[in-house]
């Protein structure tokens, strides 16, 4: 059975699958949690509130502290300070096996000598669940992770994607309050990661389980998350929905980490709390205000898809709904399938614009005007990126 077929066959009764709880549970509250390694902070004193039933992603580069925080939630690491509550209960010093959590590792950690069904059943046996209930639960999990007909196979007889779904089924079999996932798609190719990412999200929603997911892949985080937190140097830099973080980064690191962006230095002219006017070169732009900015020197972050190419010349009329940003010269044109990436030099500032691939392509050496949609400019502080 293919993944798409599994989705179609389950669709009508997905929310009423037997044994799946309709209750939302698994609220996670991290308060001032910190951990040091040899006197060096691996995780700064951190606060985080993951809502029950939410798919929350910790996103950041290697060494940012995301896996450390996940393992503290799991009980695999003891924090040096702070408290951790799950559904209102303090579990800061509670052993892993008593926290009612499921954990999916990057390498899946399946038992090679056990079949698919036996791997899923393992934790239920440890908990001494009666045989009939155990068999019913295993059958339910095999169906949930779309592995019908594979119950008697061993891990070596499965693809990487199928092994990942066995690991999910095993973690969910005990109906955990919280499902923790440490880069479980990292070993898979891009196409399979996208398809299985959607399956992870479906399984989490159908099981009414809170999920805390760790990844360094921005696209993966956008696809899966209700909310996410971007981490750097042991700190959570910013929390929000994927769209909020992408469109309204609060600092230079978040702006640069979440996809491509163009950065133009400017000076803050005025701000009314929600919008701001900023001067870039000879032009005034309307931007989203950023209360974290102190001082007048700012950087304008503009995503490539929010820029439009216009005719060169400061006296050339600007179409309605756009604002002139700068003059530029085209240095490179790349066809990338779903978009055409145009690289430009705007008075020494390298930038790029994404165009519809079906539109006429400009030529290298052409002089153009960079136009931007008002309100699609995010402001971040001009100071160097913060250091821990």
Q: Which DSSP string do the residues of 87-112 spell out, in sequence order?
A: TTEE-TT--GGGS-EEEE-TT----T
Angle, CA 330 vertex, CA 267 and CA 337 arms, to 5°: 110
**Hey, how many other C-beta atoms are within 10 angstroms of the C-beta on 303?**
21
Find how far residue 57's CA is from the centre of its chain. 5
List of residues 6+ apart from 127 with CB closer than 8 A: 174
CA gap 195, 244 in Å, rounded: 24
Give residue for tokens 């910190």: 34
Show the beta-strand stretches assigned E in 124-255.
178-182, 210-215, 227-232, 235-240
Structure tokens at 129: 């669940």
Predicted confidence at residue 10, as pLDDT, reads 37
Q: Note whether 128 and 174 are within 8 A (CB).
A: no
Sheet holding 307-311, edge to edge: 307-311, 367-372, 323-335, 340-346, 349-355
Q: How confident is the model at residue 13, as a pLDDT?
A: 36
Provide Rg for the chain, Cα atoms.
25
CB neighbour list of residue 358: distance below 8 Å, 6 or more residues apart: none
Q: Position of tokens 């799991």?
A: 74
Model pTM score: 0.85
C-alpha 95/C-alpha 74 separation (Å) is 9
So what's the pLDDT on residue 298?
A: 93
Residue 8, pLDDT score: 39
| CA-to-CA dists, residue 38 to 35, 41, 42, 80, angstroms | 10, 8, 9, 12
Residue 169 C-alpha from the chain's centroid: 22
Q: Residue 1 has what pLDDT?
A: 40
Task: Report all structural domains of the chain as residue ranges with CATH numbers, in order of start.
Answer: 3-247 (3.40.50.300), 260-381 (2.40.50.140)
Q: What is the mean pLDDT of each run of 10 residues along the chain (388 residues)?
A: 41 35 79 91 94 95 94 95 96 93 85 94 89 91 88 92 88 90 77 76 85 91 94 95 95 93 93 88 90 87 95 86 94 94 95 93 95 90 62
């Amino acid at each position: 059975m293919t993944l798409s077929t599994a989705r179609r066959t389950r669709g009508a009764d997905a929310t009423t699958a037997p044994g799946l709880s309709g209750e939302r549970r698994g609220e996670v509250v991290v308060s001032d949690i910190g951990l040091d390694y040899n006197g060096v902070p691996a995780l700064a004193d951190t606060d985080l509130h993951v809502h029950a039933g939410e798919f929350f992603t910790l996103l950041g580069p290697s060494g940012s502290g995301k896996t450390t925080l996940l393992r503290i939630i799991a009980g695999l690491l003891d924090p040096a300070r702070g408290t951790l509550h799950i559904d209102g209960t303090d579990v800061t010093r509670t052993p892993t096996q008593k926290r009612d959590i499921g954990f999916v590792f990057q390498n899946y950690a399946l038992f090679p000598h056990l079949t698919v069904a036996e791997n899923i059943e393992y934790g239920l046996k440890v908990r001494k669940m009666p045989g009939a209930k155990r068999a019913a639960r295993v059958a339910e999990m095999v169906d949930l992770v779309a592995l019908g007909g594979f119950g008697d196979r061993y891990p070596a007889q499965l693809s990487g994607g199928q092994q990942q779904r066995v690991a999910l089924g095993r973690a969910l079999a005990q109906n955990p309050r919280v499902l923790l996932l440490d880069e479980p798609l990292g070993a898979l190719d891009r196409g399979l990661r996208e398809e299985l990412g959607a399956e992870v999200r479906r399984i989490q929603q159908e099981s009414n389980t809170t999920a805390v997911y760790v990844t360094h892949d921005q696209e993966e985080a956008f696809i899966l998350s209700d909310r996410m937190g971007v981490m750097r140097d042991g700190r959570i830099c910013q929390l929000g929905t994927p769209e909020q973080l992408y469109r309204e980064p609060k600092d230079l690191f978040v702006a640069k980490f979440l996809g491509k962006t163009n950065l133009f230095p400017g000076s803050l002219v005025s701000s009314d709390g929600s919008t701001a006017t900023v001067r870039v070169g000879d032009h005034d732009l309307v931007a989203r205000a950023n209360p974290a900015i102190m001082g007048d020197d700012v950087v304008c972050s503009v995503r490539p898809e929010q820029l439009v190419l216009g005719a060169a010349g400061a006296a050339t009329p600007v179409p309605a709904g756009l604002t002139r940003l700068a003059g530029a010269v085209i240095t490179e044109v790349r066809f990338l399938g779903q978009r055409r990436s145009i690289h430009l030099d705007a008075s020494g500032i390298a930038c790029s614009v994404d165009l519809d691939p079906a539109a006429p392509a400009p030529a290298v050496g052409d002089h153009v005007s960079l136009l931007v949609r008002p309100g699609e400019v995010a402001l971040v502080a001009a100071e160097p990126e913060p250091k821990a």
